[in-house]
Chain A
Amino acid sequence: MCLAFPGRVVEVKGDFAKIDFGGGTTKDQINISHVSAKEGDYVLIHAGYAIQVLDLEEAENMLRYWQTNVSWKCERCEIVDECSMGAIVKDINFKNKASFKVK
């Protein structure tokens, strides 16, 4: 069951939060114990439990990159060996999350 929806954290109360799903829909008592979310963050919610804080800056960069250059090639892969975007076939440690930085 992969069905999950994004929503904005309106208020945090311990393990739970009030979430705004947009279009006038808000829900109280969404369990956020498995994520580190603060007010204003967007989270992915599955059956009443948040599974991830969404990196919207990453999403925006990515869209912009694809919109301007469909033949995108990850420049990080040419600079560093560590990349969570594309694992080159060799034994490497993944420490940093690569991202699409538009130049």
Chain B
Amino acid sequence: MVLEGFRDPQLAKKISDKIHEYAKEIDEDLLFMHVCGSHEWTISHHGVRSLLPENVEIRSGPGCPVCITPADDIDTAVQLAQEGKSILAYGDMSRSKGSKGLSVLDTRPSGGDVRIVYSIHDAVITARKEPEKEFVFFAVGFDTTAPPTAYEILQGLPPNLSLILSYRYMPPLVGSVLKSSVLGIDGIINPGHSSTVTGMKPYYPDFLETRKPEVFCGFEPIDVLLGILMLMRQLKEGKPKLENEYTRSVTWEGNVAAQSSLDKVFDLAEGYVRGVALIPQSGFALKEKYRNLDAYEKYGLKKKGTNEQFIPGARCGEVILGLCEPTECPLYMKECTPQTPKGPTMISLEGTCKIWAEHRVITSIKSSKK
């Protein structure tokens, strides 16, 4: 299958050699960022960082939907579970802790009904099987995950199913990463599957404003290496572009059918990135006619807003934003391990800390290169 070519070690070596060549010519420290847990997994698993020159760093930014889900929403799910509603959630979402150190799964010993599902489809099937029970689906994800939920809403959700919505729209999130003077990145690898849905088009206005190199990348190791090479080529030539490496999937217009479903069901609203910031226009909210499907509306709940986003001493917020590496958190692989996670970045399958821990990264990659 042609996709196996995207794991060709000889091609990887060729691209890596070219990256080293450009790095010598550019002769500056370069910081690139990606915003997808799946990209971090590919980078860590295939050792992409070990192929990069000393002055080129690729860092994980806010790309983990479970990590960025506000503590408020987790607290609401916990409250509903304690009140006897059945909560349907992804495995890692069910273990992520809210502001009081409680996860949805923690309600089980005292009778909370929490069931692990893999998709909105599972949630619909489950709710239909038990019409006398009230179910709440923890709807977490990015642009890739929202269209199936839009589809199911258009088909008609069972009356005993409502949603805690924490979907995020990526283009404004990427825009705020590009504009952040605190991060000061030199280029960005844009998410490949969420942009398969949105297309490249919504990224164009922020690109014109910031003029920083951007490449949409696939998820095989060759895809990521090519993406880094393309970013460096843009810098070397002094021609920043909104470039596409993932041409087999990402297009300018994106998946128009999926966008149409989204437009019928959702409006864009503020989206809070846990412990980081409120990003305008980056959250999905249900349109007026579907608002009764929102669990907050259905059960008359309000968002409380809390400053207690992580346990004291933990640097989860900085890891989420990409301000620091997991190894720079004092709890990483000491109190906080995959077996005893203390924050969402160690709980979530797409959390940077979890991915690094699973790949046995104990010391900083930057310091190990020197």
Contacts and interface: CB of A to CB of B under 8 A. Distances in A.
A58 B200 CA distance: 17
Nearest to B39: A2
A34 B154 CA distance: 13
Contacts of B229: 70
A84 interface: yes
Interface in A1-54: 1-4, 6, 22, 31, 33-36, 44, 46-49, 51-52, 54
A41 B242 CA distance: 28
Contacts of B191: 2
A87 B190 CA distance: 14
A88 B219 CA distance: 25
A20 to B, nearest CB: 11
Interface of A: 1-4, 6, 22, 31, 33-36, 44, 46-49, 51-52, 54-56, 58-60, 62-63, 66-67, 70-71, 84-89, 94, 97, 99-100
A71 B18 contact: yes
B141 interface: yes
B251 A97 contact: yes
B142 A1 contact: yes
B39 to A, nearest CB: 7
B151 A46 contact: no
Given A3-B193, A89-B239, 20 more contacts: A3-B38, A4-B144, A34-B151, A36-B257, A44-B249, A49-B119, A49-B121, A49-B147, A51-B258, A54-B248, A55-B247, A56-B2, A63-B5, A63-B8, A66-B226, A67-B5, A70-B17, A84-B200, A84-B252, A87-B204
B257 A35 contact: yes
Contacts of B151: 31, 33-34, 49
Interface in B4-45: 5-6, 8, 11, 14-15, 17-18, 36-39
A47 B65 CA distance: 14
A70 B15 contact: yes
Contact of B147 (A2, A34, A54, A58): A34
Contacts of B2: 56, 59-60, 63
A69 B239 CA distance: 21
18 contacts: A1-B65, A1-B141, A2-B38, A2-B191, A46-B144, A47-B118, A49-B121, A49-B148, A52-B249, A63-B222, A66-B11, A66-B226, A70-B17, A84-B244, A84-B251, A87-B207, A89-B240, A97-B252
Interface in B233-277: 239-244, 247-249, 251-253, 255, 257-258, 261
B322 interface: no
B69 to A, nearest CB: 11
Contact of A51 (B8, B193, B243): B193
A89 B151 CA distance: 36
Contacts of B140: 1
A67 B222 CA distance: 11
Contacts of B145: 1, 46-47
B177 interface: no
